[in-house]
Amino acid sequence: MAKIQIITIVANILFVLYISRLIIKGKLREEYAIVWVICTAVLLLFSFWRNGLEVMARLTGVYEAPNLVFTGFIFAILIYLLHLSVVASKLHNANKKLTQEVSLLKEQFEKHLTKKE
């Protein structure tokens, strides 16, 4: 096994452990973790299977194997960024609703208090 394989495998395992720790501590929701787990699984697969990349490149008709990595990963990252924008928009809407509800409730509450006095 080549040195670089060992390095990537160890790095992958550390990454998975870190993700698990984040989930256990409640800092990362499982639905967002799925993507990261899949990413590490793919990386792990290719660190064991050294010729895998060449095989995949030949299958898809890419001349230089590393270009396949760039294309694949940039695409995946773009999709994931879009997903994050969707999440942010959802949070934005939820935040707006909550803010409005809280402020309206507070106004009602204060009106009740002054009536009682």
Partner 1 sequence: MPGKVLIVIPCYNEEASIPIVLQELQQIKLPGDYQMNVLVVNDSSKDNTSAVAKKHGAIVIDLPVNLGIGGAVQTGIIYARDNSYDIAIQLDGDGQHPPKELGKMINFHLETGANVVIGSRFLEKEGFQSSFARRMGIKYFHWLNRLFTGLHIYDSTSGFRLFDRSAITLAAANYPDEYPEPESLVVFSKAGLKIKEVAVIMSHRLGGQSSIRSFGSLYYCIKVSLAMLFSFIRKP
Rounded Cα distance between 108 and 117, Å, is: 15
We find the least distance from the C-beta atom of residue 89 to partner 1, in angstroms, to be 11
To the nearest whole angstrom, how small is the minimum distance from the Cβ of residue 83 to partner 1? 19
| Residues 6 or more apart whose Cβ sits within 8 Å of residue 28 | 19, 22
Choose which of 41, 81, 86, 104 interacts with partner 1 (CB under 8 A). Answer: 104
Could you say which residues in the range 5-34 bind partner 1, by CB under 8 A? none
Residue 5 CB-density burial (10 A; 0-12 exposed, 13-18 middle, 19+ buried)? middle
Note whether 100 binds partner 1 by CB under 8 A. yes
* Residues engaged in binding partner 1 (CB under 8 A): 92, 95-96, 99-100, 102-104, 106-107
